Chain A
Amino acid sequence: MTAVEFKNVDIVFGERAAEGIRMLDQGASRAEILEKTGAVLGCAGANLAIKEGEISVLMGLSGSGKSTLLRAVNGLNKVSRGEVLVNEDGKLIDVVTCPPETLRRLRQHRVAMVFQQFALLPWRTVAENVGLGLELAGMPDAEREERVGRQLKLVGLDQWSKKYGHELSGGMQQRVGLARAFATEAPILLMDEPFSALDPLIRTKLQDELLSLQKTLKKTIIFVSHDLEEALKLGNRISILEGGRIVQTGRPEDIVLRPANDYVREFIANVNPLSVLTAYNVMRDARDLEDAGEGWVWLDRRRTTRFKIGPDRKVVAAERDKQQATWVACSQAEKPVEPGTRPVYWASPGTPLRTVMLAMHRAETAPVALFDEGERFVGAIGVRDVLQAVLRRQPD
């Protein structure tokens, strides 16, 4: 189910926005529009659908329009043209054209926001800040206090409810910001670089906390970031923006393995593929493996390891260097290999590439086999597959 959808969204800032739109249609660039009309192109032709329960990250350099696109969802930015649809109990509502009361209702109950600079009201205590959205929606005091208490516990700040924002560290203030957004129980969360103002250690900690909360809360999160590591860690899907346009949308590994253009390639240049890729991303499919006759297949090009596959695609027998092999799970790769055995490591599609590489290292570069949850053989990873993925080279 779609939670939020952008359809052909153009956002132009400035008094002569209409002229800007007209120039945009004639194919003018952002710089040309700015020079001729003084209008700033915030975002152009944005199309993006965000599924319920997913974390969708908007990425891009400063000024690429991430915030602009995000803030269109709750109407903080006026959309010049196009539709921004927000799901309200199965109905898609266009926030661009809906009446003000509807927009307010969405803001109170459907879409909450977390700000980069926290934006806590300094004259209010932590508890009063967390209760802001509920108070604006007119919730009775007793119910509100109960819910605020629950949220504060969730983010580990129940001891601090009577304090003021300036008495808290940055990380704690942003937890208050998170609790304030969670308190409305809105299913959609907008987060505009929420962790950028924090130091790296706290940032990592809050990212982890967000991920663990997300496991139970299952919110739809639109997350703006200019940090690719953060995007790859949090995002189920990532959209890369350049000069107000979305240039690529995809899963983290799609972005890393198949960058759409040089801009994206530059973005991912410094990313460690090991932190993104999984066994599934680099494997060769079982059906593409070399036949070794009599129901056997070679797992690697050097013909060190072969499996005999049964009719249900389960492995009947395994040989390495022409002798029977022993099975070891990749997760056991930390342990040294028992002397005299010939291990074949196996992994599941979600096993991180780092673990696969460790197993390969233990097995003296023997291939790693992949099995699905039904213990069926799905593919194999050889040294060359790993090298290709890490160096981001397509097969020659």
Chain B
Amino acid sequence: MDPVTQLITAWKIPIGAWGKAFFSFLTTNFEWFFDGIARGFTVVLEGLIGLVLMVPPIIVVVLVALLAWYLQRSVKLAIATAVGLLFIINLGFWKETIETLALVIAAAGVSMAIGVPVGIAAAHRPWLFRILRPILDLMQTMPTFVYLIPVLVLFGLGLAPGLIATVIFAIPAPVRLTHLGITSVPKQLIEAGEAFGATRRQLLWKVELPAALPTIMAGLTQCIMLSLSMVVIAALVGANGLGKPVVRALNSVNIPLGLEAGIAIVVLAIILDRVCRVGERKAS
């Protein structure tokens, strides 16, 4: 080794050790907190999944098809949705599909619940957005496995870490698009609101949010698709769903199982993508 490299490596900055210390501090002192969150999510989601699974699948299929029709006013889409779901039942992945759907909906719900208000706050405060932007970039570019480890440490194995990891991955979309939507509201609409005496809150609810709604909805669609793309990762940390058979197939080099599960995920992705395009129908 050359002397310079020797010099540089003589004392290694103990980042890993610091991180470990930080996380063990969190686990020892706030275990109750993270456990509470994990248990809360798990109980609620598993309860919901259990409920849906008690209903005969065909009824759920009909309900989802009706929802597709209601959202997009398209009979073709409703039929395609029903066929897709029946195909998944035929493959034998009904339970996994419901689990995945629950995870995706929960993750999208949490992401929107946090992301939209944060996006609004950032749109009103340029300094906040300047701080947020690198963080959002980091959340989207950092390889998922890197934060999977601390999430595992804090929340243990199961549904909760899967959900949290999914949220971390998906939440930049609603933040960004809400920010974009609110900041691009035409100035004259804002002034119309102000000129007629709107309070800040009225301005938000009666002018900014309705004007930004299509963009925010595009954020929801993106958020759902990003969540779905995390199913396999979520399965790695123990969340049930369509990712499980994929992981299993990977471990045992089971080509038929992997293929079938993969197709089921693709079918589900297409259905979600088409059904959730709320903003675009309005805009066209």
> Does more than half of chain B's interface fall in helix, strand or loop, or is it mixed?
helix
Q: Quick one: closest B residue to A110, CB to CB?
A: B197
B residues apposed to A, CB below 8 Å: 188-189, 191-199, 202, 206-207, 210-211, 213
Which of B196, B198, B211 has the most A CB atoms < 10 Å from its CB? Answer: B196
CB distance from A223 to the nearest CB of B (A): 16
Q: Which residues on the A side are within 8 Å of B191 (C-beta)?
A: 76, 115, 119
> How many angstroms from the CA of A332 to the CA of B206 in the assembled complex?
58
A residues apposed to B, CB below 8 Å: 74, 76, 104-109, 112-113, 115, 117, 119-123, 132-133, 135-137, 180, 184, 190
**A105 in contact with B197 (CB, 8 Å):** yes
CB distance from B59 to the nearest CB of A (A): 36
Closest 7 CB pairs of A and B: A108-B197, A107-B197, A133-B196, A119-B192, A113-B195, A119-B188, A104-B197
Q: Which residues on the A side are within 8 Å of B211 (C-beta)?
A: 121-123
**B192 in contact with A108 (CB, 8 Å):** no
Can you pick out 19 interface pairs between chain A and chain B where the beta carbons lie within 8 Å of each other? A74-B195, A76-B195, A107-B196, A108-B196, A108-B197, A113-B196, A119-B191, A121-B189, A121-B210, A121-B211, A123-B211, A132-B192, A132-B193, A132-B206, A133-B197, A136-B193, A136-B196, A136-B197, A136-B202
Q: Which residues on the B side are within 8 Å of A184 (C-beta)?
A: 196
Q: Which residues on the B side are within 8 Å of A132 (C-beta)?
A: 192-193, 196, 206
> Does more than half of chain A's interface fall in helix, strand or loop, or is it mixed?
mixed
**A76 in contact with B206 (CB, 8 Å):** no
Which of B189, B192, B199 has the most A CB atoms < 10 Å from its CB? Answer: B192
Q: Which residues on the A side are within 8 Å of B198 (C-beta)?
A: 104, 136
Evaluate whether A115 and B206 lie within 8 angstroms (CB atoms) in the complex, with A105-B197, A137-B197 already known: no
**B206 in contact with A136 (CB, 8 Å):** yes
Pick from A76, A105, A135: contact of B194, CB under 8 Å: A76
**B192 in contact with A115 (CB, 8 Å):** yes
> How many angstroms from the CA of A322 to the CA of B197 in the assembled complex?
70
CB distance from B22 to the nearest CB of A (A): 41
Which of A108, A112, A136 has the most B CB atoms < 10 Å from its CB? Answer: A136
> How many angstroms from the CA of A184 to the CA of B196 in the assembled complex?
9
